[in-house]
Structure formats: structure tokens, C-alpha cells
Amino acid sequence: MFKKIIYHLIIVVVLSLTIKWVVDRIEDKNPIIKAISEIRFSDLYFSINNNLKPSSEIFIIDIGDKDPLKSREEIANFIEEINSKYKPKIIGVDVYFNSKYKDAPINSKLISALSNENVIKMFKIDQTKGKDNKYQIYADYSVLPALGKDSIFSREGQDGYTFGLGDPSDHTCVRYFKPVLELQVQKNKNNVKYHHFSKLIAKKYLEKSDKKFSSNINFDHKMMINYNIDFSKNRIDIGDSTRYNELKDKIVLIGVNTYKNGKPHYNDDVHFTPRNKNYIGRSEKDCYGIEILGTIVSNLINPNDALSYSPNFVYWLNKILFLIIYIGILYLFITLNESFIFFKILSQTLGVLFLVLISIASIYYTKNYIDLSFSILMMFISAELVEVIEELLQRLPNYHKKLSQKFPIFFTKITKVSQNLSKSKATND
């Protein structure tokens, strides 16, 4: 039995490494493999959870999809008006102003509005090749010269990157964000830390409320997003001045957020999230980027909503569970023989249900994000894999003898360990 387990595990490791090598090279080119790799059974928690709460601190201002110059003018006028009358604590502008559209008076007015102390803007991180053919990374504000590539250093804490959500065209599901991005701006120079747009907004809001981030929040690695906020009642059209009074002392986020019949009306900055009802085979994107940013802010200023996530723990937990599952299935195959098919189906069904419930329960009860999708997938295929490998071993003539000749020291140790285990068992009996 012990030898058989060793042989199976060797073949499983070789197959796993081979499959991983192949998948890593064709994943981006094969939409089916890419879709399968995106499946996370823990998404079930968000797709079936209807207990969303309205945000009491965050409002979203929908700018729609208008003429860019008209939109710039509306944003500038809006910021000046609410700052003079209602003074929100923070205004976050999630808009990239394309350099194609130039109008000096409008841009000047917009620059003035964006320069307010309580305004935090987004930027893209880009790179340009200098005269020495070396690339320099900089913060790209496009057409706004007063907020150009050098301002990220002079206005630290006022500008944050948002590309951590990923490119919507990649069809990826937004489950996490990177609070801090550390990049080498110039060769042979110290790395520069860029902070996420939502992190800066949350930090400034807490400071103005005489509060700090919870000590339980770890910004050193990617953080999972807890999609538990509903912004439907906190969505205000930028032209609806009758509701501006609601923005006093609040967090105000400006961006595209137009819905029609409960779905995003425009395709600009729309993403897949775990709340998508079709968690497998997603076809329609379900959430604007501005709402994802707002959800992150809410998670950070309300520490009870933040999800804990340890990538290394989840990785090794899945690997250990896979070994337990595989060895358990192999044991059933050897001992049950003709009854194996029945118990295989039974164990797979119960095992999958158990692992899915564990993933969901860990989020609901402990706020720990533990995704067991890899273990669940292995539960599906382990039985078939056991049968295939066992058939392969049976077809290889004298496979033990051949392997022993190639790896004499290794198999001698295995034999001794197996004999010692047999003697120990006989003694105990």
C-alpha cells in the first residue's frame, strides 16, 4: 500500500508540473482555459448573498457618457459648488482626462477644482523612453499640465492609482486589489511606493474623523474585496443639485455609474465581480469600477467588513487537502474494488458540498477568505486520476523493478520504511 501511494504521488507530481507548464503558456491564448482558471467557488457567497447594506458614508456622482469637454466642465462646476456650500470630507475623481480634448478655459477651471485640498485624483502609471534609451515610469495625467508627471512626488497623498482593478478587456473577475505598488522609477534609484486610490481616500477620511486604520489590516499584500455594499440609493446624477445637500461631510466619488433596468448602461470601466449571478460562464459584466472603488473604501473605513486573506496559507491548505483527498480515494479504490464506483460518486458529492460550505462559512462567520476551488476541482477528478494511473502502472511491465534499478537508494529507503511500518503494525497487533 505504501509503495503504491509513492508511485501514484510521483506520477501525480510529474503530471501536475507538466500540465502547469502547458497551461501557463496557453492560458492567455485559450479562452476556455482562461474561463476555467477564473472559477472560484467562494464566489457563491457573494452571488447568493442579498444582505447588502446601504453606505452611510459614501455617495457616487454619476457623470454619464457625455461629450468629454462638457463632462469636464460639469465636474469642475460640481466640485466648486459642493465645496463652497456643503464641504464633503473627501472627493475622489475616478476619471482619466484624455489628451485629445483640449479647451484652455475649461481645462484651467478643471485644474483649479482638482487642486482643492479635499480632492483625490486617479492616475495611470505609464513609462516613456528617454534620450538614453532608458525607460522612466511616471504618473500620467494626460492633458492637465499642472498635474503632470512630477506632481506625484510633490502632491503625495493626493493622487492614487486605480489600474489594480485590472483591464476590463481581460474579462477577469475583480476579487482583490493591491493597496501599495512599489516600482523602480529610475534605474539604480530607490523604489517608489504608489498608493491605491481607495486607500488614500479611506486614509484621509479617517484622519479628518480623528481615526486610524485598524491594526488588523495588512497592506503588505493584496487584499480581498468584501462586496457587501449597495450604492443604488447613494447614486446621484451630477446634474441633480436637489440632492447635493446629502453630501455634507461625506465621501464623494465621481465617475461613470449609469444603470438601466438594473444593469450597467455603458461599457466603459465595467467589470466582472463575484456578485455576478452567473459565477460560472460569466457573459455580462455587472459592476462599474467606481462602485468597486467605493466598496474598497467602505471595507477600509469599516474594519468589521474587511476580509482577511493569507495567500500562502490558502495555497498550502489546498495542496494538503489534495493529498488527503487523493490518498483517501486511492485507499477506497484498493479496498472496495467492485463497490468503488458507488462510493466514488458518494464521496465526490459529499466532499464537494463540504468544501464549498467551508469556503462560504469561513467568509460569513469569520471574515476569512479561504478559497478551496483547487481542492474542489481535485475532488472531482481524483477518482478518475486514480483509475487512470493504476491502469498505467498495471500496464507497465515490471515497473517496480525498473524504477528500483534507476533509483536504487531511493527505493531501498522506501522498502525499509515500508518494512518498518509492517513490523510496527504487527507488534501493535
Of 211, 212, 122, 192, nearest to 158 (Cα)? 122
Running DSSP on this structure, what letter comes out for residue 173? B
Q: Tell me how far apart the alpha carbons of residues 288 and 174 are, in angstroms, rounded to a whole number.
A: 11
Q: Tell me how far apart the alpha carbons of residues 284 and 168 are, in angstroms, rounded to a whole number.
A: 12
Residues 188, 269 within the same domain: yes
| pLDDT above 80: residue 330 | yes
* Residue 47 within a domain: no
Whole-number CA gyration radius for the chain: 28
Look at residue 260 and give its three-state secondary structure.
strand
Residues 316, 288 within the same domain: no
Of 124, 134, 206, nearest to 165 (Cα)? 124
Residues 290, 160 within the same domain: yes
Q: Tell me how far apart the alpha carbons of residues 33 and 35 are, in angstroms, rounded to a whole number.
A: 5
| pLDDT above 60: residue 398 | no
Of 375, 262, 398, 259, nearest to 315 (Cα)? 375
| pLDDT above 60: residue 426 | no
Residues 115, 15 within the same domain: no
| Domain stops at, among 254, 281, 305 | 305
Q: Tell me how far apart the alpha carbons of residues 37 and 40 are, in angstroms, rounded to a whole number.
A: 8
Of 177, 128, 421, 126, nearest to 307 (Cα)? 177
Asked if residue 272 lies in contact with residue 174, where contact means CB atoms within 8 angstroms, the answer is yes
* Residue 423 within a domain: no
> How high is the pLDDT of residue 415?
64
Residues 60, 119 within the same domain: yes
| Domain stops at, among 282, 305, 328 | 305
Q: Sort strands 287-288 and 192-195 into parallel, antiparallel or unpaired.
A: unpaired
Residues 301, 314 within the same domain: no
Residues 261, 400 within the same domain: no
* Residue 46 within a domain: no
* Residue 57 within a domain: yes
> How high is the pLDDT of residue 74?
95
Compare 309 and 206 and report the one with higher pLDDT: 206
Q: 408's torsion region: left (phi>0), alpha (psi -120 to 50) or beta?
A: alpha
Residues 78, 169 within the same domain: yes
> How high is the pLDDT of residue 154?
42
> How high is the pLDDT of residue 30?
57
Residues 158, 288 within the same domain: yes
How many domains are contained in the chain?
2
| pLDDT above 60: residue 65 | yes
Residues 222, 355 within the same domain: no
Q: pTM score, two decimals?
A: 0.79
User: How many residues does the structure list for the chain?
Assistant: 429
Average pLDDT over residues 93-111: 82
Q: Tell me how far apart the alpha carbons of residues 242 and 70 are, in angstroms, rounded to a whole number.
A: 20
| Domain stops at, among 251, 272, 305 | 305
Q: Which residues span the domain enclosing 79?
A: 52-305
Q: Tell me how far apart the alpha carbons of residues 252 and 87 are, in angstroms, rounded to a whole number.
A: 10
Q: Tell me how far apart the alpha carbons of residues 130 and 133 are, in angstroms, rounded to a whole number.
A: 5
* Residue 428 within a domain: no
Residues 125, 263 within the same domain: yes
Q: Sort strands 119-129 and 159-161 into parallel, antiparallel or unpaired.
A: parallel
* Residue 421 within a domain: no
Over residues 246-275, the pLDDT tens digits come to 999 999 999 999 999 889 999 888 988 888
* Residue 424 within a domain: no
Residues 222, 369 within the same domain: no
* Residue 425 within a domain: no
Report the half-sphere exposure of 398 (CA within 13 A, side-chain side): 5
Average pLDDT over residues 169-176: 73
Q: Tell me how far apart the alpha carbons of residues 27 and 38 are, in angstroms, rounded to a whole number.
A: 11
